[in-house]
Structures are given as structure tokens and as C-alpha cells.
């Protein structure tokens, strides 16, 4: 097994707790699926949100889908003028088979953030 750092991002249409939770759940589950991860392989996860999202913590969504033993942290993204709005990003540290390729995940409008990663969308 090898320690991996997996990236992902998604967007929401508006600053609403349900929208943040739904988008975060979708993102976390997609990262888990594409990387064949189980919660016991996860070391930690950091979520960031752009300044226009504050209705809920993304970590709440991770807890709702069973990541109760994974240390989670929420933080603010740097407020860069002209940056994509209403973005939730994640950095997940997890153990995966050494021969597996990391699968990063960018959903919804966040696909523009890493268009260079064809398999990430």
C-alpha cells in the first residue's frame, strides 16, 4: 500500500446548507468509487470553500456518509479576484495499492479548474 493525496472539487449553485451537503457527498463518494477506497484506508481529509460558501461545513457531509473515524478539517480558500465562485475543494490522504493510479475528481463547473486532467471529469 502507498499513501496517496487525492484531489477533487465541485461547485454549488447557491450558498445553501443542503446544496453544500449534497455536492460534498457526491464529490467524496465519487473519489471513493474511482479510487476503490474504503473508510479504513483514509488517513485525513481537508475541505476548503470559497468565501461565498458558509451555510454549512463540508465535513458534515463526510460524516453523514460514514467517515466518522477520518480526521476532517474545513478551511477557507484564498479569495483570488476572478476565481470560480462557490467551489468546494478536497484533499484526501488515503492508502491505496502501490500499482494503482490516483484518480482525481472534478465535478460540475469545477471541471475547468483542472481541464488538463482528462480522467478527472
Question: Where in the sequence numbering do the catalytic residues fall?
Answer: 7, 63, 74, 77, 89, 106, 114
Q: Are 61 and 53 in contact (CB under 8 A)?
A: no
Cα-trace Rg, the chain: 14
Which residues, at least 6 apart from 102, have a Cβ–Cβ distance to it below 8 Å? 4, 5, 6, 35, 96
Amino acid at each position: 500500500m502507498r499513501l496517496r493525496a487525492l484531489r477533487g472539487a465541485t461547485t454549488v449553485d447557491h450558498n445553501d446548507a443542503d446544496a453544500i451537503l449534497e455536492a460534498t457527498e457526491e464529490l467524496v463518494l465519487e473519489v471513493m468509487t474511482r479510487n476503490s477506497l474504503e473508510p479504513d484506508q483514509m488517513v485525513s481529509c481537508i475541505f476548503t470553500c470559497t468565501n461565498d460558501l458558509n451555510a454549512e461545513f463540508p465535513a458534515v457531509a463526510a460524516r453523514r456518509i460514514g467517515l466518522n473515524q477520518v480526521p476532517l478539517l474545513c478551511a477557507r480558500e484564498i479569495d483570488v479576484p476572478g476565481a470560480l465562485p462557490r467551489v468546494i475543494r478536497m484533499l484526501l490522504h488515503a492508502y491505496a495499492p502501490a500499482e494503482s493510479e490516483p484518480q482525481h475528481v472534478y465535478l460540475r463547473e469545477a471541471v475547468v479548474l483542472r481541464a488538463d486532467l482528462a480522467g478527472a471529469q
